[in-house]
Structure 1
Amino acid sequence: MTDSKPRRRAVVVVLDACGVGELPDSAEYGDAGADTLTHVAQDAGGLTLPNLGALGLGNITTVLGVPAAGAPVVHGRLHPIGPGKDSTTGHWELMGTITPAPLPTYPDGFPDAVLARLREATGREFCCNKPYSGTEVIDDFGEHHLKTGELILYTSADSVLQIAAHDDVVSEPELHELCARIRTVMTGADAVGRVIARPFTGAPGAFERTTGRKDFSVDPPSRTYLDELAADGVPVHSVGKVYDLFAGRSITEAHKGKTNADGLAATTALLQDLDHGLIFTNLVETDQLYGHRHDVAGFARALRAIDDEVAVWRELLGPDDLLILTADHGVDPRSAHTDHTREHVPLLAASPSVPDGHRHDGPMSDVGATVLQWLTGREAPELPGAPFLARGINAAG
């Protein structure tokens, strides 16, 4: 008997922190005038992104070096419905989950009651306990940590609890296990978006973070488009930190992507091998390595490497495939702080069976709605978002 289900593929690639302009409420977050890609391009003296440009990146907003395309694909700017400007809520919004209230933040560090729970859960003591840059915190507290064994506890403007530890004091697997325990006690009013393990190595004056980072996210607060896909038996393959951001929910298989090179390669391999389902990728370096450090040159290099792989992906797309490129928030290099910036995110959506592009501006959850319709032929009216494709969506055809 022939399987009547559609054998379609969709690929959603999140270019982490690649925002495209401030939102009406950005000033409330200290982000008035934020415009990450525009400012990266200007400060880099222009970007060379021929493949993203051909899709229509220059039609979305002004990007120095990237002219508007004559025949762009579906393109536009998307906005969050809910509050916040972090990776967790950004990815949730793309898949139709809107947090009802801002996730908790700790601008003055974690209170004594929380510290007591952390000590009880881990049996360890902590130092720092304040908002801090992830690279500066190991420079400033790493030697103390080596001498005392106290774990380096810090946060940021985002809803995160981060634990840094040297491999000689706490092994990477042990650090992951400690952070998993911490996740279980950060609940209720203290349910931070992510508990993040941050292992590092090296000697004082030359400490370096490793690729052993692991995020322990709070569960999404409501049903997602990933849940809808799972209910229909559609496989979901995550690449990079997507699995962590959704606490593994409704993800069939997770693939490593701790670096952009790993994430790009994994996405390409999946496009070569899978015959149907969703590939959901996060490319982290524009955020983690370059965005938070306001490293414009590094940001530009990362974008160029992504642009090169976009050409490969387009060659691998068949008529039943859909490629969506977007982001989760911004991290403007001109900001006075080094945290995320609240911004619109880009939308570029291409498929050989949808040759005519158009402008689409809407909520970020339109991505999840479009993916569901593309892969199953149905919608989920109870979830936010609506499909933005008017053609190529009849799964039974």
Structure 2
Amino acid sequence: MAQKGRAVILMMDSFGIGGAEDAAKFGDSGADTLGHIAAAQGGLKVPNLAKLGLLKAAEASTGRAPQAGTQEGAKIDLPSKYGFMREISHGKDTSSGHWEMAGSPVQFEWGYFKPDYPSFPAELIKKICDEAELPGILGNTAASGTVIIDELGEEHIKTGKPICYTSADSVFQIAASEKHFGLDRLYKLCEIAFKHVAPYNIARVIARPFEGEKRGEFKRTKNRHDYSVKPPMTTVLDEIKNAGGEVISVGKISDIFAKQGITRAVKASGLEELWNVTLQEAKNAPDFSLTFTNFVDFDMTWGHRRDVAGYAGGLEYFDKRLPELAAQMKEGDIAFITADHGCDPTYKGTDHTREHVPVIMFGPNIKPAFLGGRDTYADIGQTIADYFKLPSLKFGKSFLND
């Protein structure tokens, strides 16, 4: 018999709320994504998030209230639990954050490519080029994707050489023109690269297709695809699927989990489309289901590009859509708002920042509570397992009844 109730995770990619205790180890002392955006913009209009406890969670995280200003006009009226979470995974990357919140923290060290040219070992590039029958590659350094595509896009089209680059994350990224190189060919190339980067302990190979013909006009398309290693242990997604439940991924969640524990994957990109699809999927989801969405723009479009105003606008738009989800929740449904790491757009560099992340749980039958600082993101996975009466996970402590 299926478990009653439905769960939703709204994963705001990169939305940190204050530097973690170990931020200095990562070179991120003083980072505070939410606090610095609010201060730089002279305030934020996020009344619904505030009503659910976001600003109080941020104050508990940093010891000071964000300079968000007075929050009026909230249209959400559901009880909530709120607090912040610490990460125990060794990295501050996408895979580590997502896997940990699902109950599988990364307690080993990822492999990384060096940031300066040439980033990739010559023998690795030779193996990839030989198998893919390529004349060579362009890039071969750490870079912003939009910048390196703009710089090398024309040469790529002329030579047929893909643009390969890395970042501070454990990634090997390949950008190519959908029109001139071909989307299927790019995907096949990424499969080849994924096989050959395995000995280097790299978390993901990412296909970055783009369109356009000349510098200043290149634009990445929505057909990004991540090739990921599998989580190191069983996640709450696996437990739900194995027990006969539904796990509906929206956006890049399925890629991040290497399709493990996913019963239905729905593509979407852009903040508006991700919200539209999430609302539709959550509305139609059956009992004993988890709808899990990654809102990637906070990280990809605004965090890494250090676009403070864009990030602020995204937060305010996200806030405006929350009442739509609240309005369609049934008795017993639960929803979570959280993040996988920080990416402070006011901070030096363009990398992720090691921060606490928010944990907000809301729904019609929630018992209000302040959750304080949680010791691991895995508390979300454990809470969902508890909610669906599934076996306990190895990591995490449930706050379902706190």
Deviation at 1:130, TM superposition (A): 0.7
CA contact (8 A) 1:58 1:66 kept: no
> CA–CA distance in 1 between the matches of 2:189 and 2:78?
52
Task: Look up the match of 1:242.
Answer: 253
Take 2:281 and 2:4, find their aligned partners in 1: how far apart are those partners? 15
Deviation at 1:71, TM superposition (A): 9.8
**2:204 maps to what in 1?**
194
CA shift, 1:135, in A, is 1.2
Match of 2:98 in 1: 91
Aligned partner of 2:387 among 346, 361, 374: 374
How many residues of Structure 1 are paired with residues of Structure 2 in the alignment?
385
C-alpha distance in 1 between matches for 2:89 and 2:133: 37
* Aligned pair partner of 1:170 in 161, 181, 188: 181
Deviation of the 1:206 alpha carbon: 2.2
Deviations 1:45-65 (A, max 9, x none): 211011111101110113322
Q: Is the 8 A contact 2:79 2:365 kept in 1?
A: no
In structure 2, the residue matched to 1:59 is: 56
1:364 aligns with 2:377: yes
The answer as to whether partners of 2:78 and 2:326 remain within 8 angstroms in 1 is no
Distance 1:71 1:168 in 2: 48
| Cα distance between partner residues in 2 of 1:274 and 1:138 | 39
Name the SS for the 2:387 alignment partner. Answer: helix
User: Counterpart in 2 of 1:157?
Assistant: 168
What letter is aligned with 1:114?
L
**SS at 1:164 equivalent:** strand
Q: Could you tell me which residue of structure 2 aligns to residue 114 of structure 1?
A: 124
Matches within 5 A, 1:147-296: 147-188=158-199, 190-202=200-212, 203-276=214-287, 277-296=289-308
Q: Per-residue deviation at 1:40?
A: 1.1
Quote the Cα distance in structure 2 between the aligned partners of 1:75 and 1:117.
Answer: 49
- Structure 2 letter corresponding to 1:194: R
For 2:62, the equivalent position in structure 1 comes to none
Q: Is the 8 A contact 1:57 1:66 kept in 2?
A: no
Shifted more, 32-41 versus 72-81: the winner is 72-81
> What is the one-letter code of the residue matched to 1:240?
G
Output one character per residue of 1:100-136: Cα deviation in whole Å (capped at 9) or x when no partner: 2221111241111221222133222211101011111
Note the alpha carbon deviations across 1:272-305, whole angstroms, 9 max, x for none: 2112200111001111111111111111111112
Corresponding residue of 2:83 = 76
Q: Give the AA of the match of 1:367.
A: I
Q: CA deviation at 1:35?
A: 0.6
Q: Give yes or no for contact 2:142–2:168 (8 Å, CA) kept in 1.
A: yes
1:184, CA displacement in angstroms?
2.1
- Equivalent residue for 1:395? none
Does residue 1:320 correspond to 2:317, yes or no?
Answer: no
Q: Does the aligned pair in 2 maintain the 1:191–1:218 contact within 8 Å?
A: no
Letter in structure 2 aligned against 1:121: E
- Paired with 1:205 and 1:310, the residues of 2 have a C-alpha distance of 35
Distance in 2 (alpha carbons) for counterparts of 1:267 and 1:259: 12
Q: Is the 8 A contact 1:23 1:344 kept in 2?
A: yes
- Residues 302-331 of structure 1 show CA distances to partners (whole Å, capped at 9, x for unaligned) of 111211111111111122100100000111
Partner SS, residue 105 of structure 1: coil
Give the match's secondary structure for 1:342: coil
Residue number among 101, 115, 135 corresponding to 2:146 in the alignment: 135
TM-score by length of 2: 0.92
User: In angstroms, what is the RMSD of aligned CA positions?
Assistant: 1.8
Structure 1 counterpart of 2:355, which letter?
E
Q: 1:168 & 1:34 partners in 2: Cα distance? A: 40
Deviation at 1:220, TM superposition (A): 1.1
Per-residue deviation at 1:360? 3.4
What secondary structure, in the 3-state scheme, does the structure 2 residue paired with 1:268 have? helix
CA distance in 2, matches of 1:121, 1:265: 41
Q: Conserved in 1, the CA contact under 8 Å of 2:171 and 2:203?
A: yes
Displacement of 1:333 after TM fit? 1.3
Distance 1:72 1:234, change over 3 A: closer
- What is the aligned partner in structure 2 of residue 394 from structure 1? none
What's 1:31 paired with? 28
Moved more, 124-133 or 162-171: 162-171
What percent of counterpart residues are identical?
37
Instruction: Provide the C-alpha distance between the structure 1 equivalents of 2:268 and 2:293, rounded to a whole number of angstroms.
Output: 8
Where structure 1 has 5 or more consecutive residues not aligned to the other structure, the ranges are: 392-397
TM-score normalized by the length of structure 1 = 0.93
Shift, 1:81, TM fit? 1.1
Q: Is the 8 A contact 1:127 1:152 kept in 2?
A: yes
Query: What's the counterpart of residue 108 of structure 2?
Result: 101
Quickly say closer, same or farther: Cα 1:340–1:121, change in 2 above 3 A: farther
1:117 alignment partner, SS class? helix
**Contact persistence 1:89–1:99 (CA under 8 A):** yes
C-alpha contact (below 8 Å) 2:7/2:335 kept by paired residues: yes
